[in-house]
Amino acid sequence: MPSDHIDQDASSERQSMKVSHSGYLRSTYVALFALYAIIITGSLVRLTGSGLGCADWPKCSEDKFIDVSSTHSAIEQLNRLFTGVVAVAVIVCVLLSIKLSPRRKDLITMSFVLVVGVLAQVLIGAVVVLTGLNPYSNIAHFLVSIFLMTVAFMLVKHARIFRFADEPVPREEPIINNKKILIVVKLLLSVAGIAVATGTLVTGSGPHAGDENAVRLGFQMTTIVRIHSTFVWLTVIATIALAILLRTDLIAKKMLYQVLRRFSMVIVVQGVVGYLQYFLGVPIGLVAVHVAVSVLVWLCALDIYWNSRLSVMPTNVLD
């Protein structure tokens, strides 16, 4: 009958509009990489002294919305335009999360948080420019970027789990029940986070302000560097302590060994780059690498924490 054909066509159309889990996962990776890329481009704006290459907002200058007449303005303009790429990436995540079948509240919520966060970053970016690169607004800009990377990273982790039975449920006890290991994991995450945060104070006190006339933080460079390096070494100590504890717990070792190994390699690279840039007078190239790797340090620490909280062994996941 005609009505049956109409119902079948409507059903087929709805089915064709659904998004596969693998398709959605790809969109979360794009959002994650876009958010990471804009952190790097943002650091290059600052390191090249292009922070006020566009002295107005949202226009680049009073009479031009887009201005690439100088190197500084071109660098700042490209960074602003890349914000559009990030915005599209996170909006796509929201739209696809709604079309995902079955719908997942966790994915929809985190996708929306990314959109709100990117909008907040646009406003903070305006404050950074309009306050003449105030170091505190710059720090807020970076830390919100770290927050968005955290949400995007967790979104990828959740999106990889495509069977509800394999979702980690916070109310359930994690597989790892060794309290010492769980405490050290939390300590590692905490000191790694503080190390990244104090790193922003070092940058805010150093020579790379984004513009030669920008104000700096009032900290003495040697003092703030020592505070930052103290938390870096506490991170190293926590890493070693966790590695030792894993030797006594086979389940924990199975869950955490690979992610801890990856984290260890990243902090070694970061430590080498950190000391090199300090003793070589903070050259732009090394500072850029240090900023980029600092994000990886945080994400790898977060990965350790994620694995320590899993309530089931992750098997049904997408790669």
DSSP class per residue in 229-246: HHHHHHHHHHHHHHHHHH
Mean pLDDT to the nearest integer, 244-269: 95
Report residue 165's pLDDT band, with 50, 70 and 90 as the boundaries: very low
Q: What is the CATH number of domain 18-160?
A: 1.20.120
3-class DSSP state of 317: strand
Least confident of 65-74, 95-104, 239-248, 277-286: 65-74
Taking only the tens place, the pLDDT of each residue in 89-141 is 999 999 999 998 878 899 999 999 999 999 999 999 888 888 888 888 889 99
User: Does residue 64 carry a pLDDT above 60?
Assistant: yes
CA 67 to CA 70: how far, in whole Å?
Answer: 8
Least confident of 39-43, 118-122, 301-305: 39-43
Residue 181: predicted pLDDT: 96
* Stated pTM of the model: 0.87
Taking only the tens place, the pLDDT of each residue in 211-226 is 667 778 878 888 999 9
Residue 293: predicted pLDDT: 96
Q: What are phi and psi of 255, to 5 degrees?
A: -80, -30
Residues 126, 58 contacting (CB under 8 angstroms): yes
User: Does residue 255 carry a pLDDT above 70?
Assistant: yes
Please state the separation of Cα 301 from the chain's center in Å: 12
What contacts 199, CB < 8 A, 6 or more positions away?
228, 290, 294
Which tokens sit at 176? Answer: 């790892």
Bridge partner list, 100:
19
Mean pLDDT, the chain, whole residue set: 85
Domain boundaries defined on the chain: 18-160, 171-319
Four-point Cα dihedral 51, 56, 57, 62, nearest 10: -150
Report residue 186's pLDDT band, with 50, 70 and 90 as the boundaries: very high
